[in-house]
Amino acid sequence: MTIDSYRTLGTSGLRVSPLALGAMNFDDGSWGSAPETSFKILDHYLDAGGNFIDTANQYNGGKSEETLGEYFQKQPARRDRMVLATKFGGTLHPADPNAGGAGRKAIYTQLDESLRRLKTDYIDLYWMHQWDRHTPIEETLSTLDDLVRAGKIRAVGVSNVPAWWVGQAVGITRARGWETIAALQVEYSLLARTPEGEQFGAATALGLGITPWSPLASGVLSGKYSRAVRSVEGSSRSGYAAPSLTEETFVLLDALAEIAAAHSTTVAAISLAWVRQRSEVTSTLIGARTVDQLAANLASAAVDLTPEEITRLSALTEPNLEYPSNVIRSFATGFLQGDTTINGLSSTAFTRA
């Protein structure tokens, strides 16, 4: 596969690259990549054929969006050729209770501010960044429908939401003829597989796209750690990485290194390929602080793992899912269909021990 093997995103007509460029690292250089480096990263990604850029209003206090806006100002022809996604929900004014969340007042204000920072007239994909327990779902969905009809946004996505909320949202929008949800953004990697329990099922049943974030598990699966390198030092995300550096993870890293050697590639490329090759996944979010990091991550698009390699890696991180997924996985198939094969799925009859 190549990065310009585009896919339609869920229920929308948007064509997106299988690897999306996450811009969370873009800022003024105080934390992530300064504008000059960010521009080079964008050039490299777009020149390679990528077309899907993802950011959020709250990333680095709005600096990520501002950096993208400066880039569009320098290269305006590239704006319309990319699928630009940003998110709403995160507050930039902590003392104002209406500055964040998914209420109508907040969404209108946040969108106007994002459009100003991005120096654009419209957003191709507008994500709800987090579930807002305080706002009626109809208020959020009707507002987003109004914005699509006004031409300010082109498609709607949701991130970090319960699967029941997704089902309710899709049911409401389809029943009322409103713009529906196109895709879900979820944390997903070899070390974070709980979306397989509910979110993936909802997405499949409802025809939604999936765009995983943190596919390298905050750098744990990037290749920087091994049995010889176990400490977390000098990383802004060390607090996320450290808890995952367990014996089970080192067993996984050993397997990733072995498979990477067989493919003459990197641990990061194998980790990303495993995520990309999930049938539910449409586009995987990759981030980079340097052009070299981006190039290394883009190389994963050329890696195709064998079914045996996928099975080996999957077995090392089989998730313990919550009810009812644990029941369904443990015995439900054999309970329902006995010793038969239906639609290609074989089972053994369930018997009580």
Would you name the residues annotated as active-site residues? Answer: 59
Three-class SS state of 211: strand
Residues whose CB is less than 8 angstroms from the CB of residue 100 and which lie 6 or more positions away in sequence, other chains included: 89, 90, 91, 92, 93, 106, 110
Phi-psi category of residue 195: left, alpha or beta, with phi > 0 → left and psi -120 to 50 → alpha: alpha
Q: Are 188 and 215 in contact (CB under 8 A)?
A: yes
Question: Crossing angle of helices 163-176/199-206, nearest 10°?
Answer: 20
Q: CA-CA distances (angstroms) from residue 228 to 77, 172, 223?
A: 47, 53, 11
Q: Which two tokens stand for residue 123?
A: 């957003």
| Residue matched to tokens 């310009």 | 4
- Amino acid at site 179: E
DSSP output for 47-98:
HTT--EEE--TTGGGGHHHHHHHHHHHH-GGGTTTSEEEEEE---S-TT-TT
- Edge-to-edge order in the sheet of strand 83-88: 209-213, 181-187, 156-159, 125-128, 83-88, 52-54, 19-22, 284-286
- 3-state SS, residue 280: coil
